[in-house]
Amino acid sequence: MGDIDVTVLSDGTFGLDISKDLVLNAKPGEVDKLLAQSFQRSPIDVSFNTFLIHRNGRTILVDTGCAELMGPTTGKLPASLSAVGVSAESVTDVFLTHAHPDHAGGLVIGGKRAFPNATVHVNQKELDYWMDKAAAAKASGMQAQFYAAAQATLQPYLDAGQVKPFTGAAEFFPGFRAEPAYGHTPGHTLYALESGGQRLVLWGDLVHIMAVQFDDPSVAVAFDVNAPTAVETRKKALADAADKGYLVAHTHAPFPGLGHVRRDGASYRWVPAPYVDDAKRK
């Protein structure tokens, strides 16, 4: 992006069961119909992409994948980092879109900080919500699991003084800023990267089920802490990306998760960026 290097890293894929308990607001039969139109059926293969940014001598990760929290087909971020010659010790900053286990789980491996020299940046609303011990004690089911995972991954960095919360729309260095996208979680955040007249927006969890939610953005998922707000946030973000034509980095799109959004009537379509191998033969 201009003079900023961005590398997409795979943390693996996961088979997501699209059950009636997961999907909210869908019309009868809508999900199966839309999945079939994309030649998919439940469970769908969901990618976990993370993003490595090199800027001003800093080595930055946006999200950290799952570690061991989502099964044996994920947790591949350490191998992906090694493949591009980056050690965990050299990572200077981690920016979290939110604290769900498939985005923040890789902060900790085997109970220890995976990135011992990194500062973790996270929205203050997100930190306050997930580190609330009283609320965690009252939670049940999936939400209780999310609380436990968030506290297990963030607490070692809090204890080490390596968490730096931010509020709202914050700029971290010229051309890199946070953009609030609340709803999926209380502090869910997008990150926008701009350089040389180009713009890349890292989406986090704006869209979970690509075959469904681009076509019908009003469909929510049970993972959403506030589903109505998540729906409105998604609609605004899809419209903005389609109207302005910038590149999007999508955590759960098939690797490498880069593409554009275009309007299709009242719906939207994901247009993957073409893969280009323009390196000269050696």
Structural domains for the chain: 5-269 (3.60.15.10)
The pLDDT assigned to 61 comes to 98
The pLDDT assigned to 172 comes to 96
The pLDDT assigned to 230 comes to 98
Is the alpha carbon torsion for 176, 181, 182, 184 positive or negative? negative
Residue 9, beta-bridge partner list: 50
The pLDDT assigned to 278 comes to 86
The pTM score is 0.96
Q: What is the DSSP letter of 280?
A: P
- Element of type H or E holding 123: strand 119-123
The pLDDT assigned to 48 comes to 96
The pLDDT assigned to 282 comes to 84
Q: Count CA atoms closer than 13 A to 29's CA, side-chain side.
A: 1
The pLDDT assigned to 277 comes to 87
The number of helix segments (H) and strand segments (E) in the chain equals: 8, 17
pLDDT averaged per 10 residues, the chain (length 282): 93 91 92 94 94 94 93 95 97 98 96 97 98 96 95 97 97 95 98 96 96 97 96 98 97 96 96 91 87
The pLDDT assigned to 78 comes to 97
The pLDDT assigned to 56 comes to 84
The pLDDT assigned to 276 comes to 87
